[in-house]
């Protein structure tokens, strides 16, 4: 077969050249030239009947008034995991393209093989393993205990086909031949298009392979799940190209030393983003955690700890924060935050210093979110402030207290979204007091939930409500 000419495109300015250079001759950026196959679009999947030149004139009008566009009910396929369905927005949409990213060893292959097994009881599934041999996948499949998942009247394994292959062309042929309802490719970086000279895993390869798979999947309504690896910088390799191409990007993350794993939707055309699914890695694969708040809560309140209600998508999560404030022995005090942006901590410390007069710049400050969760939302600010002040003053917050609120730079407490949902979750888990921003309008709702509600306009009022003392008052007598 004649090799189609490939060319190089600068990912920074879009200039094209026939030859590879380390530096783009147009914009001067280094290492931005990416190889692209010349004739890939025409080579694969062109409708058989029409020739390339005549198509434009012969084709009938394709647009239609929007009101006349037929509706097709979205029949989502249950993935076998309620948690995965939740993150997908209610199940897998036929013909959709989902990218599942995560660090090596986090459990992507396990998750997808287990849900492939579950889906294969109801639909045809093709599992393409480009990284592991068929024997390795089978060993894992046996270990995951397929016998439990066999629907009555079906054979063990259901309609699950396995293909161990790295050549893109062969994978495409198999997809054409089988026309499965679901195809899983593990991983997109290990696939290889022989038309391109660059190495498997390079941006050009990843893009070409994903685009070719996407075209065929869309055409035959196959839902395609692609596994993608995360680079050292924490990005999905070939990130932007893939993110634009796919309908949903899920990231699978977690502390490799702990057993729980978090699945998040970073992008989802068929559901809410930032939806969170929680799993636990056991000796027989991943199990769902349906009540995750318990994972991120400590046992007993202690000095320097505070509980917040974070909201991940539509899911409220109770999370314990711990702070340690101690006299510094460095010229500039140390600040470190695990599970929270350190700049956010700097900002909250500055607000506490300025508006409450606490001399925190003479103290080291460490903050940690329990359970390895990453908390991004500003609604955690009040909890951080309370944990820091509690550690600084050696106070313990009364048991059963949650704090929710964003701190403004002027020390004011700003309202946060989905407060009622957060309070419901707190009440459900047995919390009895909530400190929230003023004018929440939730007095009645909180009473019916059995919560004692404290509304505060600024950080000082909120901390007085939470701790029972003004943070700047000199301690009198022994602190509790």
450 contact choice in Mg ion, ligand TYD, none (CB below 5 to 8 Å, kind-dependent): none
CA–CA separation, 428 vs 383, rounded Å? 19
Report the residue number whose CB is nearest to ligand TYD: 109
207 contact choice in ligand TYD, Mg ion, none (CB below 5 to 8 Å, kind-dependent): none
CA distances from 365 to 83, 303, 325 (A): 36, 14, 5
User: Is residue 189 close enough to count as binding Mg ion by CB under 5 A?
Assistant: no
Number of residues that bind Mg ion (CB under 5 A): 1
Report the residue number whose CB is nearest to Mg ion: 109
User: Is residue 440 close enough to count as binding ligand TYD by CB under 6 A?
Assistant: no
CA–CA separation, 386 vs 4, rounded Å? 64
For the bound state, the minimum distance from the C-beta of residue 81 to Mg ion, rounded and expressed in Å, comes to 17
Query: Long-range CB contacts (< 8 A, 24+ apart) of 143-150?
Result: 143/284, 143/285, 144/110, 144/113, 144/114, 144/117, 144/284, 144/285, 145/284, 145/285, 146/117, 149/80, 149/117, 149/118, 149/121, 150/121
User: Is residue 147 close enough to count as binding ligand TYD by CB under 6 A?
Assistant: no
For strands 260-268 and 248-253, give the pairing. Answer: antiparallel
Choices 63-71, 101-109, 252-260, 429-437 (CB under 5 A): range interacting with Mg ion: 101-109
106 contact choice in ligand TYD, Mg ion, none (CB below 5 to 8 Å, kind-dependent): ligand TYD
For the bound state, the minimum distance from the C-beta of residue 191 to Mg ion, rounded and expressed in Å, comes to 14
For the bound state, the minimum distance from the C-beta of residue 144 to ligand TYD, rounded and expressed in Å, comes to 6
CA distances from 261 to 119, 188, 247 (A): 21, 22, 22
Of 278, 200, 205, the residue nearest 34 (C-alpha): 205
89 contact choice in Mg ion, ligand TYD, none (CB below 5 to 8 Å, kind-dependent): none
Residue selected from 86, 108, 207, 422 as contacting ligand TYD according to rule CB under 6 A: 108
Which residue's CB is nearer to Mg ion, number 88 or number 113?
A: 113
User: Is residue 114 close enough to count as binding Mg ion by CB under 5 A?
Assistant: no
Number of residues that bind ligand TYD (CB under 6 A): 14
User: Is residue 234 close enough to count as binding ligand TYD by CB under 6 A?
Assistant: no
Q: What is the 3-state secondary structure (H, E, C) of 52-70?
A: CCCHHHHCCCCCCCHHHCC
User: Is residue 105 close enough to count as binding ligand TYD by CB under 6 A?
Assistant: yes
362 contact choice in Mg ion, ligand TYD, none (CB below 5 to 8 Å, kind-dependent): none
Choices 41-49, 153-161, 206-214, 280-288 (CB under 6 A): range interacting with ligand TYD: 280-288
Residue selected from 80, 91, 107, 372 as contacting ligand TYD according to rule CB under 6 A: 107
CA distances from 372 to 104, 246, 261, 386, 475 (A): 17, 28, 9, 20, 34
For strands 182-186 and 223-229, give the pairing. Answer: parallel
For the bound state, the minimum distance from the C-beta of residue 95 to ligand TYD, rounded and expressed in Å, comes to 25
User: Is residue 129 close enough to count as binding ligand TYD by CB under 6 A?
Assistant: no
- CA-only gyration radius of the chain, Å: 27
Q: Where are the beta strands (DSSP E) in 195-295?
A: 223-229, 248-253, 260-268, 276-282, 285-288
User: Is residue 109 close enough to count as binding Mg ion by CB under 5 A?
Assistant: yes
CA–CA separation, 192 vs 220, rounded Å? 22
CA angle 383, 401, 361 (to 5 degrees): 30
For the bound state, the minimum distance from the C-beta of residue 132 to ligand TYD, rounded and expressed in Å, comes to 8
User: Is residue 228 close enough to count as binding ligand TYD by CB under 6 A?
Assistant: no
User: Is residue 104 close enough to count as binding ligand TYD by CB under 6 A?
Assistant: yes
- Dump the DSSP string for 433-445: EEEEES----HHH
Residue selected from 44, 122, 140, 215 as contacting ligand TYD according to rule CB under 6 A: 140
For the bound state, the minimum distance from the C-beta of residue 131 to Mg ion, rounded and expressed in Å, comes to 6
Strand order across the 33-36 sheet: 16-17, 7-10, 33-36
Residue selected from 6, 32, 96, 109 as contacting ligand TYD according to rule CB under 6 A: 109
Q: Give contact residues for ligand TYD (rule: CB under 6 A).
A: 102, 104-110, 140, 143, 281, 283-285
Contacting residues toward Mg ion, per CB under 5 A: 109
């Amino acid at each position: 077969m004649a090799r189609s000419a490939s060319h190089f495109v600068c990912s920074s300015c879009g200039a094209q050249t026939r030859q590879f250079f380390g530096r783009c001759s147009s914009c001067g950026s280094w290492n931005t030239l990416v190889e692209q196959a010349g004739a890939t679009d025409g080579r694969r999947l062109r409708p058989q009947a029409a020739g390339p030149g005549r198509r434009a004139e012969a084709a009938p009008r394709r647009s239609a008034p929007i009101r006349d566009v037929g509706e097709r009910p979205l029949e989502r396929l249950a993935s076998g995991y309620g948690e995965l369905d939740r993150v997908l927005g209610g199940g897998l949409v036929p013909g959709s393209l989902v990218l599942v990213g995560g660090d090596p060893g986090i459990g992507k292959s396990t998750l997808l093989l287990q849900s492939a097994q579950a889906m294969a009881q109801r639909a045809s599934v093709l599992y393409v393993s480009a990284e592991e041999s068929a024997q390795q996948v089978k060993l894992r499949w046996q270990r995951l205990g397929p016998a439990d998942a066999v629907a009555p009247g079906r054979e063990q394994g259901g309609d699950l086909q396995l293909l161990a292959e790295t050549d893109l062309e062969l994978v495409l042929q198999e997809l054409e031949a089988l026309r499965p309802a679901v195809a899983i490719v593990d991983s997109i970086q290990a696939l290889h298009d022989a038309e391109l000279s660059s190495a498997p895993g390079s941006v050009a390869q990843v893009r070409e392979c994903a685009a070719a798979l996407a075209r065929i999947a869309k055409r035959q309504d196959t839902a395609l799940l692609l596994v993608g690896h995360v680079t050292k910088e924490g990005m999905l390799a070939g990130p932007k190209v893939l993110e634009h191409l796919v309908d949903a990007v899920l990231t699978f993350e977690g502390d490799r030393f702990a057993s729980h794993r978090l699945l998040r939707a970073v992008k989802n055309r068929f559901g809410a983003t930032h939806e969170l699914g929680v799993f636990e890695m056991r000796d027989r694969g991943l199990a769902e955690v349906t009540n995750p708040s318990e994972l991120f809560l400590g046992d007993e309140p202690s000095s320097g700890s505070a509980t917040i209600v974070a909201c991940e998508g539509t899911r409220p999560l109770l999370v314990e924060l711990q702070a340690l404030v101690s006299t510094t022995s460095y010229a500039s005090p140390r600040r470190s935050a695990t599970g929270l942006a350190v700049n956010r901590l700097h900002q909250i410390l500055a607000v506490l210093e300025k508006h409450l007069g606490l001399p925190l710049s003479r103290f080291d400050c460490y903050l940690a979110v329990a359970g390895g969760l990453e908390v991004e939302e500003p609604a955690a600010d009040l909890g951080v402030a309370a944990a820091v002040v509690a550690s600084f003053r050696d106070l313990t917050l009364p048991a059963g207290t949650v704090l929710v609120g964003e701190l403004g730079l002027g020390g004011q407490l700003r309202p946060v979204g989905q407060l009622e949902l957060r309070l419901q979750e707190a009440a459900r888990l047995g919390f009895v007091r909530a400190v929230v921003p003023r004018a929440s309008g939730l007095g009645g709702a909180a009473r019916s939930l059995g919560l004692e509600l404290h509304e505060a306009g600024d950080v000082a009022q909120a901390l007085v409500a939470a701790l029972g003392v003004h943070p700047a008052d000199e301690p009198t007598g022994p602190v509790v």
